[in-house]
Structure 1
């Protein structure tokens, strides 16, 4: 019984660390979010914090998973793997996606974390490698549900949207005047237009 209680406390502490790390990175930025700073935020030493994670890279990967969990709950983005595709409301998905992008402008530290780890995750040995593979597939599955029929294959459509969204994040990090949501909104409006019928 004591072991079960200890395990539950460990799970709760890990969740607390992830929630506080989200706050620290969102408010203090990627560079301000050292393991030392996150450990201080939860009342642990650096060694104590890393008892719950194998490395800083694993901690940051799990922070991104937690961010995705929050975004899913708050904005209701579908991942294309559940539910009835015939019941998908393209307008609702579009607005949910745009709300996530607008929210990202409020948490630049998390956008920077995502962008940095995305590059590092090209290494198959990196703790974030599987996360980015799985997340990319889930995101594309959701986008594919909204592909206008008769335009291009849904998987191509989904890859284009993912590439635009990820690329705009990099541009925005360099130049915060980039209107990520506005650009994506215009792209989606254009892609969703029905082709004019031949006369």
Structure 2
């Protein structure tokens, strides 16, 4: 096994070149996403992660310092994957943001492990003192603000701040909820189609404002 750890004092082994490359870190992140996705953060161990990439528990710590830091970087890695192919590598604004959300749903069909890891970790983050809690809370806040800003731009004055806030929270909630259903039964839930239906319905209701139908009274 390749430890990826510098030789300790007192050994006669010649010093090896440092192997903390971006490629190796990405390999560990993918393994961690798979481990945390299938076992959860609490049950998934660094040894589980290490075995997938052919290094030791100490080797993982050499690259990331702690299990908590590895978790945070797994979550950040997922978000970077979402925008990797976008100009400027950040979420677009206006109507393009909603097209981006639909593209993300289509991409997720082919990266089940990342979706599973995100779903498990965000669910676990509601527990007290979970190391991902602050990251997840901040991520939802930023995403709500981005969706709200995009909706206000699309509405061009026809959408109130209050309604935009509600619509943004609803879109995030629907997308995450659909991912759970899809993970449990992907034959019954068409993730891209259901996501597009939900986002379009929420957008239509928000843009209609006070004149939107209220079938529930």
TM-score (norm 2): 0.68
Alignment of 1:49-68 (within 5 A): 49-51=60-62, 52-55=64-67, 57-68=68-79
Q: Which deviates more from structure 2 when the two are superposed, residues 181-190 or residues 99-108?
A: 181-190
| 1:74 maps onto 2:93 in alignment | no
Q: Indicate how the Cα distance of structure 1 residues 114 and 14 shifts in structure 2: closer, same or farther if over 3 A, else same.
A: farther
Q: What is the RMSD computed on CA atoms of the aligned residues?
A: 3.1
Partner of residue 20 from structure 2, selected from 13, 17, 24: 13
| 1:89 maps onto 2:94 in alignment | yes
Q: Deviations over 1:101-123 (max 9, x none)?
A: 11111111111111111122113
CA distance in 1, matches of 2:94, 2:209: 23
Partner of residue 168 from structure 1, selected from 171, 178, 181: 178
1:27: Cα distance to partner?
A: 7.4
Partner of residue 182 from structure 1, selected from 185, 193, 215: 193
- Name the larger-Rg structure: 2
| 1:112 maps onto 2:116 in alignment | yes
> Mind listing any 5+ residue stretches in structure 1 that lack a counterpart?
1-8, 80-87
- Residue 145 of structure 1: SS of its match in structure 2? helix
> Mind listing any 5+ residue stretches in structure 2 that lack a counterpart?
1-17, 212-217
Q: Is the 8 A contact 1:17 1:38 kept in 2?
A: no
1:53: Cα distance to partner?
A: 3.0
- Residue 150 of structure 2: SS of its match in structure 1? coil
CA distance in 1, matches of 2:119, 2:139: 13
CA distance in 2, matches of 1:49, 1:28: 13
Q: Indicate how the Cα distance of structure 1 residues 36 and 185 shifts in structure 2: closer, same or farther if over 3 A, else same.
A: same
| 1:30 maps onto 2:37 in alignment | yes
State how many pairs are aligned: 178
